[in-house]
Structure 1
Amino acid sequence: MSPTSTDRPAPTFTGKFAELTQDLLFGDIWQRPELSPRERSLVTVAALVALYRLEQLPFHLQRARDNGVSTAQLSEVITHLAFYSGWPTAASALMLLEQAAGEQQPVPQPAAEQE
């Protein structure tokens, strides 16, 4: 998956919403040069945690990792947010991060780096 688009096929019943998500959100907003994809991922994860939007969080946690944010950095962002958005929101988000990190496939290293 590209760090700035989604390759998930949209269900047919979502119609215009899916089109706007792909074309406007991921095709335009995420492509704007003022923020890097990494920065956009951090902002998005923070917003989802603060608003307790856990349904979307696993997708955006993976996207953040794809955009260069480490699991440790995501954990720190969520821990920091606990003091602003509430302990329960952070605790739930950290559980999802732990689950996602456990499912994460290791990135293959080039032969020179394996030694």
Structure 2
Amino acid sequence: MAKRISPAAAVRGTELPDAAHLTPAERPEAVLASLRGHFGPGSQDGMAVRRAVLGDAHVDRAQTATTPFTARFQEFISRYAWGDVWTDPTLSRRERSLVTLTAPTAHGHWDELAMHVRAARGNGLSQDELAALLLQTAVYCGVPAANRAFAIAQQVLSDETPPNHD
């Protein structure tokens, strides 16, 4: 018995004329075009969010540095991290920044931390909230990690122009 798909599910079908049993072999160009149409919006939406959160300059640098070796990874980041996860309306960008700051602190990804401190400030996180978040990470991630995170965050805050005193 066939199972009915919920009308709320984001389901879309495509019929390709003049194709029978082995559509990818019979109509490869049409299949590719259909797949690009299906998957393209996530990448485009992701790039828009990535630019809004990290800034055009950062994204432009990443795009300029893209090589054939890293191209699929850049596409992956835009599509899944920024297109699927960051566009989900369940959490605000501010809330996502709070969550995101804990991961590079826990794992020692200091370049990523600096980038996400700047993004969190742009997403409305105050200096006091940032300090409270990093203090809490000391409990769960360890004092040495939080110590390094505080130093990086302090440098990012010092580099803000104009100074954002809140």
TM-score (norm 2): 0.60
The alpha carbon displacement at 1:46 in A equals 1.1
Segments of 5+ residues of structure 1 without an aligned counterpart are 109-115
Q: Which among 107, 118, 129 is matched to residue 51 of structure 1?
A: 107
The alpha carbon displacement at 1:88 in A equals 0.5
Is it true that 1:20 corresponds to 2:67 in the alignment?
no
Is it true that 1:63 corresponds to 2:119 in the alignment?
yes
Aligned-pair Cα RMSD in Å: 1.8
The structure whose RCO (Cα within 8 Å, separation 6+) is larger is: 1
Is it true that 1:80 corresponds to 2:80 in the alignment?
no
- Matched residues, number: 107
Q: Which structure's CA Rg is the greater one?
A: 2
CA gap of 1:27–1:107, structure 2 versus 1, over 3 A, is: farther
Is it true that 1:2 corresponds to 2:52 in the alignment?
yes
Residue identity (%)? 34
- Structure 1 stretch 51-60 or stretch 34-43: which is displaced more? 51-60
TM-score (norm 1): 0.84
The alpha carbon displacement at 1:76 in A equals 1.0
Runs of 4+ aligned structure 1 residues displaced above 3 Å come to none
